[in-house]
Amino acid sequence: MIHVASLLHDDVLDDADTRRGIGSLNFMMGNKLAVLAGDFLLSRACVALASLKNTEVVSLLATVVEHLVTGETMQMTTTSEQRCSMEYYMQKTYYKTASLISNSCKAIALLAGQTAEVSMMAFEYGKNLGLAYQLIDDVLDFTGTSTSLGKGSLSDIRHGIITAPILYALEEFPELRVVVDQGFDNPANVNRALEYLRKSHGIQRTRDLARKHANLASVAIDSLPQNDEEDVQRSRRALAELTQRVITRTK
C-alpha cells in the first residue's frame, strides 16, 4: 500500500499519462483525486501497521515513508554538482527505492522473531535488491519502449533527471557536462546526450553495477543460518531467483 501510494504521488509529480500500460489515475481523474487516493492508501497502511503492535516495525516503516519523500525531494532539488555526482545518485536511489525493500525485509524478519543478526541480513538483501532494481529501471528508461514498459520511455532525461547511464557517460566524455548543465527543455539537448550515451559504456557499466548489487543480495541469502526444511529451502531459492529476475527483466 505504501508503494502504490508513492507511485500515485509520483505520477502526479512526473505528470505521467500511463502506468503499467493503462491511463494513470492522475491522467484519468485529475491530480487532486490521485493525491487523495495516495493519502488514503497511506492512512490505511498506517492503520494496518499500528494493528501489529510492534513499535520497532512501526518505526522502520515510518522511516521508509520519510525516505521516500527525502528521495523524491533530493531528485527534484539538485545543484549542478549534485546532479552530476554518482554518490548523490546512489544515496537518492537508496531513499527512493531501496529503503522500502530493505526495511520491509528487516521488519518481516523481526516479526518472525529472528535475531538482530538475521534481520540485518534481510536488510542487506532488500537494500541490494532495491538498488539493482532501480539501476535496471534507469537503464530501461533509455533502452525500453513505451509499449514494453507500460509507461513513458526517456522520461527521466526529459525531466532533467540524471541517472547512472548518463553519469558514467559523463566520466568518459566530460564535455557532456555542458549539455547537462544547459538542461533538457530543448529536445535537441536530449538527442545530444543520447548520442554521447550511445558512444559510451554507460548502459553496460550501469548493468554491471546492478549485477554487483544483485550478487550481494544473493550472498545475503546464502549467509542466513543453515536450515534444511523444505519450505525454507524453497523460499530461499525464490529470493535468490528474484535477484536474477531484477537484472534480466525487460519491462
Q: Tell me the closest approach of the beta carbon of residue 68 to Mg ion, in angstroms.
A: 12
- The residues in 186-245 that bind ligand FPP, with binding defined as CB under 6 A, are none
- Residue 68 interacting with ligand FPP (CB under 6 A): yes
Q: Tell me the closest approach of the beta carbon of residue 95 to ligand FPP, in angstroms.
A: 9
Using the contact rule CB under 6 A, the part of the chain among 5-13, 115-123, 180-188, 239-247 near ligand FPP is 5-13
Provide the residue type at 231 as one letter: D
CB distance 37 to 8 below 8 Å: yes
Number of residues that bind Mg ion (CB under 5 A): 2
How do beta strands 22-23 and 18-19 pair? Answer: antiparallel
Enter the C-alpha cell of residue 49. 501497521
Enter the C-alpha cell of residue 251. 519491462
CA distance 161 to 22: 24
Q: What angle do CA 182, 185, 186 make, to 5 degrees?
A: 80
Using the contact rule CB under 6 A, the part of the chain among 9-17, 25-33, 185-193, 208-216 near ligand FPP is 9-17
CA distance 68 to 137: 17
- Nearer CB in complex with ligand FPP: 74/120: 74
- Nearer CB in complex with ligand FPP: 94/125: 94
- The residues in 92-131 that bind ligand FPP, with binding defined as CB under 6 A, are 96-97
Of the residues 6, 8, 9, 10, which one makes contact with Mg ion according to CB under 5 A? 10
Q: Tell me the closest approach of the beta carbon of residue 186 to Mg ion, in angstroms.
A: 22
Using the contact rule CB under 6 A, the part of the chain among 2-10, 53-61, 191-199, 210-218 near ligand FPP is 2-10
* DSSP H helical ranges for the chain: 2-14, 25-29, 31-50, 55-76, 80-83, 86-93, 99-111, 116-143, 146-149, 155-158, 164-172, 176-182, 187-199, 202-222, 230-248
- Residue 14 interacting with Mg ion (CB under 5 A): yes
Q: Tell me the closest approach of the beta carbon of residue 10 to Mg ion, in angstroms.
A: 4
CA distance 139 to 147: 16
In the complex, the residues that contact ligand FPP under the rule CB under 6 A are 2, 5-7, 9-10, 13-14, 38, 42, 65, 68-69, 72, 96-97, 151, 155
Binding residues for Mg ion (CB under 5 A): 10, 14
